[in-house]
Amino acid sequence: MANLGYSRYRQYYQQIGPALKKPHIRAYTMTILSLFTLSFFGAFAIRPAVKEIFELNRKINDQRLVNQKLDEKIGKLQLAEQEYEKIQADLPLILGALPQEPNFPPFLKAVEGVASSSAISLNELRFQDIDILGKTQEKLATPSAIMSSPRSIVFTVNASGFYLDLLSSLKNLLTGSRLVVINESNFSVDEKATTSATLRMDLKGTAYFYQNKIGELE
Partner 1 sequence: MRSKDLFILSILTFLTVVAWIISDSYHASVTSTLTTVEKKLIEPIEPSFDQEVIAQLKERHGL
x/- binding map, residues 143-182, to partner 1, per CB under 8 A? Answer: -x---------------------------xx-xxxx----
Q: Does 134 bind partner 1 (CB under 8 A)?
A: no
Interaction between residue 90 and partner 1 (CB under 8 A): yes
CA gap 34, 218 in Å, rounded: 63
Cβ atoms 117, 175 nearer than 8 A: no
HEC string for 112-149: HHHHHHCCCEEEEEEECCCCCCCHHHHHHCCHHHHHHC
Site for partner 1 in 12-31 (CB under 8 A): 25, 28-29, 31
Q: Which residues lie below 8 Å from residue 115, measured CB to CB, with a gap of 6+? A: 121, 122, 159, 169
As beta bridge partners, residue 106 has: none
72 Cβ neighbours under 8 A, 6+ residues apart: none
The residue among 47 and 135 lying less far from partner 1, judged by its C-beta, is 47
From residue 41 to residue 70, the character string flagging contacts with partner 1 as x (rule: CB under 8 A) and all else as - is -xx--xx--xxxxxx-xxx--x--xx--xx
Query: Where on the chain is the footprint of partner 1 (CB under 8 A)?
Result: 25, 28-29, 31-32, 35-36, 38-39, 42-43, 46-47, 50-55, 57-59, 62, 65-66, 69-70, 72-73, 76-77, 79-80, 83-84, 87, 90, 93-94, 96-97, 110-111, 113-114, 144, 172-173, 175-178
